[in-house]
Amino acid sequence: MSESKPLTYRDAGVDISAQDEALGRAKDAIRSTFTPGVLGDVGSFGGLFDLSRAGASGEILVASADGVGTKLDVAKMAGVYDTVGRDLVQHCINDILVQGARPLFFMDYVGTGKLDPKVVAALIEGCANACRDFNLALLGGETAEMPGLYAEGDFDLVGFLVGSVKPEHLLDGGKVRAGQVLLALGSAGLHTNGYSLARKIFFERLELGANDRPASLGGPSVAEALLAPHRCYLEQLWPFIETQRVSALGHITGGGLVDNLPRVLGGFDAVIDRSSWETPPLFKALCEGGNVADEEAYQAFNMGIGIVLAVEPEDADSVTSELSAQGEQVYRIGEVQAASGEKGQVHWA
């Protein structure tokens, strides 16, 4: 029997030193997010968080997990990696915000075929930047190099967020009633949903490149339009949660207005006037370029609406005024109506 060469983990495609380098690059960014509730330091097996030190004693915990989807493919094409980390955190914040909760801490997961320390560090730093901006801790995470499962150059990014809500602030559909007004704030592009269809339209059907600037987009390149960060609405909407002037919030993600509003309206219907806001150029370009029917478009894309508020009619003007004072364009898009079927639905006015 011939002598065999000793094998190492690196021979199998896993470079532990690259993982250490990536974490080393991101450590300062991670530590910069630590809030009073954090116990311990980077590198522990589990993150420790003291609810009492964070001012959340007696509150209900709310958790959310999500990914960035195929927006990652656009990031790879453009060589821009920090913005998708921000997207992930801000998406997850919105997902618990609509239940009346504020974020406490976030954890990330990066899976890759061959670990590039610069790319992984940029992904984590993007998460850290958003965490720091919105006062939540990046409490821990995992970076996994898995050759054979992911192709070289491939990676995935997912996250897990925990927040808390005071029982009296919980938004669970129980405060919704017929006659309430539906207000909306705009999105900043696709956010993190609809990218499989958008990529097919731009890169396959229209044969555009990431750096092309079609006139239909009104200025930005395809990559710039598609990588616009997912907006976070925490700062704008938190005052209305605290003063209990909002009955429901709907984060318009995958499934669009059609699927997301029924999730939060407690069985009531929503009647939406699609002429109440101007469809942004990106969505017009996608719908025209892909010959996408309205029914499909309003379920695949957010069509320019990032979040919807249900408020009492007597509060609609004051809420609009206060949001406008923050520089927000507020759209009065419809109202809540009694259910016409077994479960809540969206109807077009």
Encode pLDDT of 282-291 as tens digits: 999 999 999 9
Q: What is the pLDDT of residue 3?
A: 64
Q: Are 201 and 126 in a shared domain?
A: no
Instruction: Give residue 69's pLDDT.
Output: 92
Same domain membership, residue 186 and residue 332: yes
pLDDT number for residue 28: 83
| pLDDT of 30 | 87
Q: What is the total count of domains within the chain?
A: 2
> If pLDDT is split at 50, 70 and 90, which confidence band does 184 have?
very high
What is the Cα–Cα distance from 73 to 79, expressed in whole angstroms?
A: 10
The reported pLDDT for the residue numbered 1 is 47
C-alpha to C-alpha distance for 45 and 106, rounded to whole angstroms: 15
Task: Indicate whether 128 and 22 sit together in one domain.
Answer: yes
Is 140 in the same domain as 228? no
CA distance 82 to 89: 12
User: Distance (Å, rounded) from C-alpha 327 to C-alpha 330?
Assistant: 9
Angle formed at CA 304 by CA 330 and CA 173, multiple of 5 degrees: 65
Give 233's Cβ-side CA count (13 Å radius): 31
Number of CB atoms found within 10 A of residue 119's CB: 20
Query: Looking at residue 2, what is its pLDDT?
Result: 53
Residues of the chain with pLDDT > 70, as a percent, come to: 99
165 plus 135 within the same structural domain: yes
User: In this model, does residue 163 exceed pLDDT 50?
Assistant: yes
Considering the domain architecture, whether residues 70 and 126 belong to the same structural domain is answered as yes
In a domain, 87, yes or no: yes
Residue that terminates a domain, selected from 169, 196, 213: 169
Residues 210 and 144 placed together within one structural domain of the fold: no
Residues 255 and 159 in one domain: no
- Residue 174 resides in a domain: no
Mean per-residue pLDDT over the chain, rounded: 93
The reported pLDDT for the residue numbered 342 is 77
The winner for highest mean pLDDT among 42-46, 67-71, 100-104 is 100-104
Residues 209 and 321 in one domain: yes
> Which of 147, 169, 191 is where one domain is finished?
169
Looking at the chain, the whole-number percentage of residues with pLDDT higher than 90 is: 81
Q: Are residues 118 and 222 in the same domain?
A: no
Structural domain range at position 85: 10-169
Same domain, 186 and 158: no
> Among residues 139, 169, 199, which one ends one of the domains?
169
| 335 lies in some domain | yes
- Within this chain, do residues 258 and 325 fall inside the same structural domain, yes or no? yes
Residue 175 is assigned to a structural domain of this protein: no
Report the 10 Å Cβ neighbour count for 20. 12
Q: What is the pLDDT of residues 193-236, one digit of tens each?
A: 999 999 999 999 999 999 999 999 999 999 999 999 999 999 99
* Residue 114 domain-assigned (yes or no): yes
Segment 236-283, tens digit of pLDDT: 999 999 999 999 999 999 999 999 999 999 999 999 999 999 999 999
Q: How far is 117 from 122, CA to CA, in rounded Å?
A: 8
Lowest mean pLDDT among 150-159, 314-323, 327-336: 150-159
**Residue 339's pLDDT band (boundaries 50, 70, 90)?**
very high
CATH number of the domain encompassing residue 257: 3.90.650.10
pLDDT of residue 11: 75
We report the CATH number of the domain holding residue 105 as 3.30.1330.10
| Per-residue pLDDT, 15 | 78
